[in-house]
Amino acid sequence: MIYKDWVYGTVKIEDEVILDLMNTNAVQRLKGINQGGPLFLLNPNHFLNKYKTTRFDHSVGVCILLKIFNASLEEQIAGLLHDISHMVFSHATDFLFNRNMQQDYHEIFHEKMILNSEIPFVLKKHNVNVKDILDNKKFTLLERNLPDLCADRIDYFLRDMCVYDSLIKKKVNEILNSFTVFKKEIVFTSLDSAKLFAQKFIEANKMLYCNPLQSSLFKIISDVLKSAMSKGFIIEDDLFSTDNLILEKLRNSNDEEIIDKLNLISNMEVIENKNNYDFHLKSKVRCVDPKIIADEKLVRLSDLDESYKKTMNDFISKTSNGFFTKIIKKNFN
């Protein structure tokens, strides 16, 4: 199969088990989950509204990247399936269930979603033990805690930077060519590429991952979901459907409170105001401090570059306090 990817270009996917898994209903569902949560609900003229990346795009991307890093077939499969339990609007549901600082609520359902799907049958057909795929602790290239690098983190970041033209393709390729695997860990061989990656990662936080607008959007849409569940318009199982399916249920509710909040999302401006605010919101702070290999030794970027160390610490300190956001209703129609 020839697969065209925004980050990695034209890729040939040949492993039959990967192809069969990509075609399962469980993986195909991820095409209906926007990677940026409710960003696509913003006014069409808002530059963040063009965020059309799906969890499917990202999941296949992680699988491809792991292949590039010569990860085992089992780890590539785990990469393809790592987001299988993501709920509608991505991390918005973390605000609904008070996991906004960790953004990991969906992980509770990861094993259940896999075991209750056709995935175990596909794996068995290809002589792969599903228990080996569920043992994520051994997949050190796929997932690592911040501030380390991992395939998941690398893919969603580079993918997002490509979407918004924040990194030209030449720079993306330079970064990809500067990675190596050392003792089962993804590290940089180039100080310049490590610094570019880390600085742009902070920029992505300010634009996408941890900012007043993102936090306010997640809060409002989580309030909509909470209200709809309490009134019986949706049930918790609906959270495992797709963005458009649940949006249809929300809009068909004809509930004034729900409709008003959905309309607000597409006609709002968010400002910070500590003295007059609607929400004080905290979100997961994401910063990377990549390791660079030199003479068979690993050194953190922050230990080699004082300017980045200060930038990183300042960002973490400021953002950890959260955002005091004021919602202003506009009319963009």
Percentages helix, strand, coil for the chain, rounded to the nearest 5? 55, 10, 35
What is the enclosing helix (H) or strand (E) of 257?
helix 256-265
pLDDT, tens digit, for every residue of 4-38?
998 999 999 999 999 999 999 999 999 999 998 89
Q: What is the DSSP letter of 15?
A: -
In degrees and rounded to multiples of 5, residue 102 shows phi and psi of -100, -30
Q: Is residue 226 over pLDDT 90?
A: yes
What ranges in 126-255 are assigned the alpha helix state H?
Answer: 130-134, 151-163, 169-177, 191-204, 212-230, 243-252
104-137 pLDDT, tens digit each? 667 788 999 999 999 999 999 999 999 999 977 7
Contacts 24+ apart (CB under 8 A), 161-167: 161/200, 161/204, 162/6, 162/7, 163/6, 163/50, 163/51, 163/52, 163/53, 164/47, 164/50, 164/207, 166/200, 166/203, 166/204, 166/207, 167/200
Domain ranges of the chain: 2-212+284-323
pLDDT at 99: 67
pLDDT of 333 over the 70 cut: no
3-state secondary structure of 144: coil
* pLDDT value at residue 332: 58
DSSP conformational letter for 241? S
Q: Which long-range contacts (CB under 8 A, 24 or more apart) does 74-77 make?
A: 74/128, 74/132, 74/133, 74/139, 75/139, 75/141, 75/142, 76/15, 76/18, 77/17, 77/18, 77/21, 77/123, 77/128, 77/133
Do residues 179 and 190 make contact, with C-beta atoms less than 8 angstroms apart? no
Looking at residue 294, what is its pLDDT? 85
At 46 the pLDDT is 82
What number of CA atoms fall less than 13 Å from residue 227's CA on the CB side? Answer: 19
Fold of the 2-212+284-323 domain:
Hypothetical protein af1432 (1.10.3210)
Contacts of 155 (CB under 8 A, 6+ apart): 7, 58, 61, 62, 65
Helices (H), 43-150: 55-68, 73-81, 92-96, 110-115, 119-125, 130-134
The CA-based dihedral angle spanning residues 51, 53, 55, 60, taken in that order and rounded to the nearest 10 degrees: -160
Residue 103, pLDDT above cutoff 80: no
**In this predicted structure, which of 75-79, 172-176, 218-222, 327-331 has the lowest mean pLDDT?**
327-331
What pLDDT score does 284 carry? 87
Find the length of the chain.
Answer: 333
Q: Which residues of 226-319 form beta strands (DSSP E)?
A: 268-272, 279-281, 291-294, 297-300
Q: Which residues contact 313 (CB under 8 A, 6 or more apart)?
A: none
Give the predicted TM-score (pTM) of the model. Answer: 0.94
